[in-house]
Amino acid sequence: MSLQDLDDVILRAKKGGLKALVAVTEGGREFEKVINLSKVYPGFVFPCFGIHPLQGSAQDLHSVKIQDLEPFLPLFQKYKDDIVAVGEIGLDFTPWYAKTTQERDEQIEVFKKQLEISKELHLPVNVHSRSAAKVTIATMKEQGIRQALLHNFAGRPSVAMEGVHAGFCFSFPPAVTRNEQRAKLIKQIPLEHLCLETDSPALGSDKHVRNEPQNIILCCEYIAKVKGVSADRVMEVTTRNAFRLFTKLKV
C-alpha cells in the first residue's frame, strides 16, 4: 500500500462519515506500524495490539504459539498509553489449522495471556473466533472480561446470547451482506450490543475487491434492514456503543 493510497483510503473514510478508526494487528511485527499510523492520523486512527490465533501468511498460516507473543510483551507496556484495546486476539479452531489438542491448548494459552494484559491495562478486547464460539465466550467469562467486541462472530444465536448477557458487543463486516446466514444472529442480538466493522482489507461485500473503512455504511444498512429500523438509528446506537466500549477514543 503506497502512502498516497493510504491517504486516499483515510480521506474516503472521513468523507463517508467515520469519526474514528480502530486499527488492529495480527502479529507483533505490526505493533509499531499501527503506532506510526496513529501518529500520522492523530485523533482518527487508534491503535490496538494483539497476536491473532493464526500466524503467518497465506501458504504458511499456522496456529499461534506462545513464542509468537513473548518477544512482544514489553511493547504492550511501552505503548500502554497509546493503545485503545488489546486485539485482534482469540481462538481459531478451523480443523486444518488447529489439528491437534496441543495446538488448540496453545491458542488458549496465548488468548488467556492477552486477556490478562487487557485487565492489567484496563483495556477492552477485540476478539476473533472461528469454529470456537463456545470456548471463546466461556474463556472470556472465566477470566472476568467485561469490555469486549466479538468481531465477525459466526456461532449459534444461543451462544451469542451468553456473550450478550456477559455484556459483550458484536460486530459484523460487509461480507455478511453476501448471504442470509448471519441474519438470524443479527436479528437476535440487541442493537445496544452491536457495533460496525469492516475488517478491511478482508471481508468486503465483494470477495474480489479490496475492502476499505468507508464501506462501513454497508453493514449499517444491512443491520437496519434485518432489524427493520432506520439506518440513522443503527448509526446512532452503534456509534454510542463503540464509544462506550472503546473508552479511550477521543475525537
* CB 151, min distance to Zn ion, A: 6
Distance, in Å, from the CA atom of 195 to the CA atom of 205, rounded to the nearest integer, reads 17
* CB 119, min distance to Zn ion, A: 21
Q: Is 199 annotated as a binding residue?
A: yes
Residue 152 sits at the vertex; the CA angle it makes with 19 and 72, to the nearest 5 degrees, is: 80
* DSSP conformation class of 213: G
What's the Cα-to-Cα distance from 203 to each of 77, 131, 195, rounded to whole Å? Answer: 31, 17, 16
Q: How many residues bind Zn ion (CB under 5 A)?
A: 1
* CB 128, min distance to Zn ion, A: 3
Closer residue to Zn ion, CB minimum distance, 53 or 241: 53
Q: Cell 470477495 appears where?
A: 207
- Which residues lie below 8 Å from residue 39, measured CB to CB, with a gap of 6+? none
Q: Is 165 annotated as a binding residue?
A: no
Per CB under 5 A, contacts with Zn ion among 87-146 are 128
Q: Does 150 bind Zn ion (CB under 5 A)?
A: no
Distance, in Å, from the CA atom of 89 to the CA atom of 51, rounded to the nearest integer, reads 6
Q: Is 128 annotated as a binding residue?
A: yes
Residue 77 sits at the vertex; the CA angle it makes with 74 and 80, to the nearest 5 degrees, is: 145
Closer residue to Zn ion, CB minimum distance, 26 or 106: 26
| Cell numbers describing residue 147 | 469490555
Residues 54-83 vs Zn ion: string with x where CB under 5 A? Answer: ------------------------------
Closer residue to Zn ion, CB minimum distance, 182 or 235: 182
Binding residues for a divalent metal cation: 88, 128, 151, 199
Which residues are near Zn ion by CB under 5 A? 128
Binding residues: 88, 128, 151, 199
